Amino acid sequence: MAALKFSKLQWLFIKSVVFMLCLSPFLSIFWDAFNDLLGADPIQQLHFRTGDWTLRLLLLSLAMTPLRQVFKSSWPIRFRRMLGLFAFFYASLHLLKPLYYVGFDRLLDAAAVGCYLKFSLDAVIG
């Protein structure tokens, strides 16, 4: 199988397209939040959507090494770091659920935050 030979400009374009594809779920979430399209429980919707995209991008980044071995080419490795960093970005957003809860739902009420942390074991561990 012939190796892919792209110029630096072509690789820059391909990486830019992958970057925009990885950023599009965040833009979609932001658009839905801005236009009040997240449904009856927006915090849960934010939590689920960021968690789903975390897992998808993590699995994609982990699949790059087997793809390199299957295709006997190094082109999948060029995207592994970018996919991993986007997975970390969405995981960070996913773990900010207590801040969503405090900022959006309880409007920075300290007593509500304490009650939430007291009864939410996943928020305390996370």
- Give the C-alpha distances (Å, rounded to integers) separating 78 from 18, 25, 93, 122: 11, 21, 25, 35
Residue 42's pLDDT is what? 84
**What pTM did the predictor assign?**
0.81
Task: Give the pLDDT confidence of 52-111 residue by residue, as tens digits.
Answer: 999 999 999 999 999 999 988 888 899 999 999 999 999 999 888 767 766 666 666 777
Name the amino acid, one letter, at 2: A
Measured in whole angstroms, the distance separating CA 55 from the mean position of its chain's CA atoms is 8
In contact, 95 and 126? CB cutoff 8 Å: yes
Domain boundaries, the chain: 42-95, 97-126
The token pair at 92 is 């960070």
Residue 22's pLDDT is what? 97
In contact, 54 and 118? CB cutoff 8 Å: no
